[in-house]
Amino acid sequence: MSLINLQRKNNRKLLFTTPSHDRKFFIFNKFRQFYKYDISETECFNPQKALLEAEERAKNIYKTKYTRFLTNGSTGGIIASVLSCTKKDDKVLIWDDAHPSHYNAVKLACCEPVYYKINKINEWGVPGITEPELIEKNLKNNNIKAVIITSPSYEGIVSDIKKIKEICSKFNTRLIVDEAHGALYPFCNKLPLSTANIADFTVQSLHKTAGGLNPTALVHSDCNIDPKIGLEQINTTSPSYPLLTSIEKNINYLNSRKGRNHIINLIENINNLKNSCKNCDFYGDDPTKILVKIKGLSGYELSEKLYEEFNIEDEKTNEISTMLLCGIGTSEKKIEKLKKALIKICNIL
């Protein structure tokens, strides 16, 4: 099957998945613009200088010490953060079921991984918070130089990063937060607090909920270490300026009045769905993640019904619950269709 035919086939499904732009919401309006922005360093063009200026403006928006654009997803940001703040044979504390980029970052930095566990929320079948007490115990027993925390989780569970940062500071340990699913947080007070101004390094994926193109992302530093130190070790010397340009436009949109209102409207639409589906149970700290379960159905059964009977595809499913991801590209009409599907499923049971 060709890529074109694959795209046509997917167009028939209602996707509550990444990327959140849903192929219908265009921050960077016309694809042909990519070719106009696809340039290199010449006498008449200085894209590197333009990039530095764009990152400086972004830093001021996020109120961080450094903000760097990423075109290799949050993976690049995690790796760059570890490379920037550790040296060979340092110990780095990571979740034993974290995204592969966490372990790979430690490996590439020639560091030693130390693992911690996260308890599962059995009623939902998803990982819970990272307990600050567990982090403190590990830092007391090991000479840990950096800690990587995932918050929010894939399903929208948020840990107490302020408390964890206090603990890390006590042991002179760098805190890296994988906030890949929290790129909207800095732009709406109805969402959890972003860690961009708390942790030493915070990594966000714009393509997951913020309407960005795959695989655009950001790495923020709120300490005196520029993540560019690590990025220079892993980035290509021929970056995609079209993707970098899309990042700048993405940030400017999120920071605009229109963008902020868009996020508020999205949350209101999702809250309306939750209030209307009386026989569904919902969970999580992040309202842009619809983590749902229905009595009498496993998560897999609910996922199958949504897909086969209503043409709705979820992002992630387990034995107990189903998670549907929403973001900038999730329209009110789309949420309304999901609401009607959930109500109809409940009424049939």
> Read out DSSP for 257-306?
HHHHHHHHHHHHHHHHHHHH-TTEEEE-S-TTEEEEEETT--HHHHHHHH
Average pLDDT over residues 12-16: 71
164 plus 60 within the same structural domain:
yes
167 plus 315 within the same structural domain:
no
224 plus 311 within the same structural domain:
no
CA quadruple 292, 120, 158, 75: dihedral sign: negative
CB-based burial of residue 336 (10 Å sphere; 0-12 exposed, 13-18 middle, 19+ buried)?
middle
pLDDT in tens, 298-323: 999 999 999 999 999 999 999 999 99
Q: Is residue 81 a contact partner of residue 203, using CB atoms and an 8 Å limit?
A: yes
Average pLDDT over residues 85-100: 97
Instruction: Indicate whether 31 belongs to any domain.
Output: no
Question: Residue 195 gets which letter from DSSP?
Answer: S
For the chain, what percent of residues have pLDDT higher than 70? Answer: 88
**How would you classify residue 323: left for phi > 0, otherwise alpha for psi between -120 and 50, otherwise beta?**
beta
177 plus 234 within the same structural domain:
yes
47 plus 143 within the same structural domain:
yes
Q: What is the CATH number of the domain that holds 279?
A: 3.90.1150.150
pLDDT at 275: 96
89 plus 51 within the same structural domain:
yes
211 plus 88 within the same structural domain:
yes
Instruction: Indicate whether 292 belongs to any domain.
Output: yes
Among 255, 279, 304, the domain boundary falls at 255
Q: Is residue 261 a contact partner of residue 188, using CB atoms and an 8 Å limit?
A: no
Average pLDDT over residues 82-108: 97
Question: Does position 209 have pLDDT exceeding 90, yes or no?
Answer: yes
57 plus 198 within the same structural domain:
yes
pLDDT at 241: 86
Q: Is residue 162 a contact partner of residue 200, using CB atoms and an 8 Å limit?
A: no
Average pLDDT over residues 333-345: 96
pLDDT at 317: 96
Residue type, 344: K
Instruction: Indicate whether 23 belongs to any domain.
Output: no
User: Could you tell me which residues are beta bridge partners of residue 15?
Assistant: 313
User: Could you tell me which residues are beta bridge partners of residue 175?
Assistant: 147
302 plus 323 within the same structural domain:
yes
Average pLDDT over residues 179-183: 98
224 plus 76 within the same structural domain:
yes
Q: How far apart are CA 291 and CA 271, in angstroms?
A: 12
Instruction: Indicate whether 205 belongs to any domain.
Output: yes
Instruction: Indicate whether 342 belongs to any domain.
Output: yes
299 plus 329 within the same structural domain:
yes
Instruction: Indicate whether 28 belongs to any domain.
Output: no
Number of domains within the chain = 2
Average model confidence (pLDDT) for the chain?
A: 91
Q: How far apart are CA 251 and CA 218, in angstroms?
A: 10
Among 240, 255, 270, the domain boundary falls at 255
> Read out DSSP for 87-109?
-TT-EEEEETTS-HHHHHHHHHT
Among 255, 287, 316, the domain boundary falls at 255
227 plus 90 within the same structural domain:
yes
pLDDT in tens, 147-162: 999 999 999 999 999 9
pLDDT in tens, 21-60: 555 555 555 556 666 667 766 555 677 888 999 999 999 9
Q: How far apart are CA 87 and CA 82, in angstroms?
A: 9
Average pLDDT over residues 98-119: 97
Q: What is the CATH number of the domain that holds 248?
A: 3.40.640.10
Residue of higher predicted confidence among 39 and 174: 174
- Domain of 295 in residue numbering reads as 3-18+259-348
Instruction: Indicate whether 32 belongs to any domain.
Output: no
pLDDT at 239: 87
Instruction: Indicate whether 26 belongs to any domain.
Output: no
Q: How far apart are CA 67 and CA 73, in angstroms?
A: 14
pLDDT in tens, 216-269: 999 999 999 999 999 999 998 888 888 998 999 999 999 999 999 999 999 999
208 closest CA partner among 182, 245, 226, 240: 182
